[in-house]
Amino acid sequence: MLALTGATGFLGGRIAALAGGAGWRVRTLQRRPDVALDGVWEVVPGDLADGRALARLVDGADAVVHNAGLVRAPSPGAFMAANALGANAVARAVLAVGGPPFVLVSSLAASRPSVSPYAASKAVAEAGLRRILANHPFAILRPPAIYGPADAATKPMFQAMAKGFAPMPGPVDVRLAMIYVDDAAAAVLAALGTASPFHPVYEVDDGACGYTWREIRSAGEAAAGRRLRPIRLPMPLIRTIGELGGIGAWMSDTLGFQPPFLTPGKVAEMRAGDWIADPARSLPQWQAEVSLEAGFRRTLAWYREAG
């Protein structure tokens, strides 16, 4: 049995489907238990603040994956509550049932906690996990930017490609690691087999050691089968949009809408230089199967078929 949080999210749904197809009985924690997911065997209603629900989630589990978290939030405190305190709550529930193998889905951002509130929350989550499960088997997986069908964060990029454009925000020579969602899900399950009391931290990507925006544009052209007109977005413009996004994020909690993705914290991440996986932290006996061009082609095809 695999206990899984964050199953209704972009990556979590693929983890559940892949695990179910591999023979796991997947039990998920869901705020909305009526949402049906491929591969899920049992749903536990509740959230990360519900101690009883967490206890039920991990009871009898042979392995636990904590994937839930926020990539956009109204405030630094909201990032910390969801990403750090949430991870620590799951870790304590795991400890209470003897400490079955545990995987925390973190982020490359955790390697630079001073860059943004999101990065800080992921680093605090990792530190808390090490403290709570000090003598138990766990692994930390740090994926880079994940893309694929139905991802809200990268959907605008594919919409632009479908219209013949290639957005190129910020410095064109910065390298960004990327990974297709199915490969990211497979890496999560592979990390379960490496969980140990030695607290390994793994950083994964699609094997290309990152891409510049020019290379991303080239992959998009190959996938779309057409030339894409580059749309350069200079950093001053991005900073301005980020400041407006910060105001929107602050207002979102009060007015009840989803916080914007581009905020001052995200702009700081964009200005922080390369975001690439450390080869010294590669995941043993695992490698990505989907290249950037193939992943773009699959994603564009999915959007077209879905209308």
Reported as a single tens digit per residue, the pLDDT across 13-62 is 999 999 999 999 999 999 998 888 999 999 999 999 999 999 999 999 99
The structure tokens listed for 186 are 């497979």
Whether residue 206 contacts residue 290, with contact meaning beta carbons closer than 8 Å, is answered with yes
What number does CATH give the domain 2-145+179-205+276-289? 3.40.50.720
Say how far apart CA 212 and CA 84 lie, in whole Å.
Answer: 31
* The pLDDT of residue 109: 97
The structure tokens listed for 24 are 């796991």
Element of type H or E holding 201: strand 201-203
What pLDDT digit, counting tens, does each position of 172-193 carry?
889 999 999 999 999 999 999 9
DSSP secondary structure code for residue 175 in this structure = -
* The pLDDT of residue 27: 98
What pLDDT digit, counting tens, does each position of 236-270 carry?
888 898 888 888 888 887 777 778 888 889 889 98
Question: Three-class SS of residue 146?
Answer: strand
CA 139 to chain CA centroid, nearest Å: 16
Whether residue 53 contacts residue 93, with contact meaning beta carbons closer than 8 Å, is answered with no
Whether residue 23 contacts residue 41, with contact meaning beta carbons closer than 8 Å, is answered with no
* The pLDDT of residue 126: 97
CA 95 to chain CA centroid, nearest Å: 24
Domain borders along the chain are 2-145+179-205+276-289
Whether residue 144 contacts residue 180, with contact meaning beta carbons closer than 8 Å, is answered with no
Q: Among residues 120, 147, 140, which one has the least CA distance to residue 65?
A: 140
